[in-house]
Amino acid sequence: MLKKILSPESCAKCRVCCIFDKYDVWETPVISKELREKISEVSPGLKFASKGNAFIFNMEECWDEKEELFTCPALDPQKGCTLGDLKPFDCKIWPYRIMRLGNDLVISIASICPEMYSKPLSELTGMLEGGLAEEIFREAALHPEMIKPYEQGYPILKVKEGENK
């Protein structure tokens, strides 16, 4: 989804978005009920935990005590994400994030993505204006469980006023 701005090669070398510390484990991708069923068909070994009306991966068994990190159970260390087209929307748009801030919905960006965060602001907002923002807001309306509370320090790139009902 971000191929125009973020090369698959850069992502393959990095994978920071698939590994979480205890402070950013809230970033674990949200998975709708329908998507969970599809993922379970192709990867029956993956375990889930409820999150509101949706699910997240059960990360309990993914904690590396030595590194103090959680690794997404769908990540293959050699091949990358094993979910292909079933990758959660949260992952398809990362490092863009959809968040609630007061009465508004905002699209922000996670500064932890080195490739995207080094790009000019005009490129990051240009991608949103080129149709991505519309797609994110549409998906968020269908699956509100993917909307996260606003986190301090996340630069806001786009606001949809009065949409947080």
Contacts to ligand SF4 by CB under 6 A: 17-18, 29, 72, 74-75, 81, 83, 87-88, 91
- Give 85 or 122: the residue with its C-beta nearer to ligand SF4: 85
How many C-beta neighbours within 10 Å does residue 20 have? 19
Task: Assess contact for 128 and 103: CB atoms under 8 A.
Answer: no
Three-state secondary structure of 95-145: CEEEEEECCEEEEEECCCCHHHHCCCHHHHHHHHHHHHHHHHHHHHHHCHH
Min. distance of Cβ 18 from ligand SF4 in angstroms? 3
Min. distance of Cβ 103 from ligand SF4 in angstroms? 30
- Phi and psi angles of residue 16, each rounded to the nearest 5 degrees, phi first: -60, -25
- Give 92 or 160: the residue with its C-beta nearer to ligand SF4: 92
Min. distance of Cβ 34 from ligand SF4 in angstroms? 16
- Give 77 or 120: the residue with its C-beta nearer to ligand SF4: 77
- Give 88 or 95: the residue with its C-beta nearer to ligand SF4: 88
- Give 17 or 110: the residue with its C-beta nearer to ligand SF4: 17
CA distances from 156 to 6, 38, 105, 130, 132 (A): 19, 33, 10, 17, 15
**CA angle 76–92–160, rounded 5-degree value:** 150
Min. distance of Cβ 107 from ligand SF4 in angstroms? 18
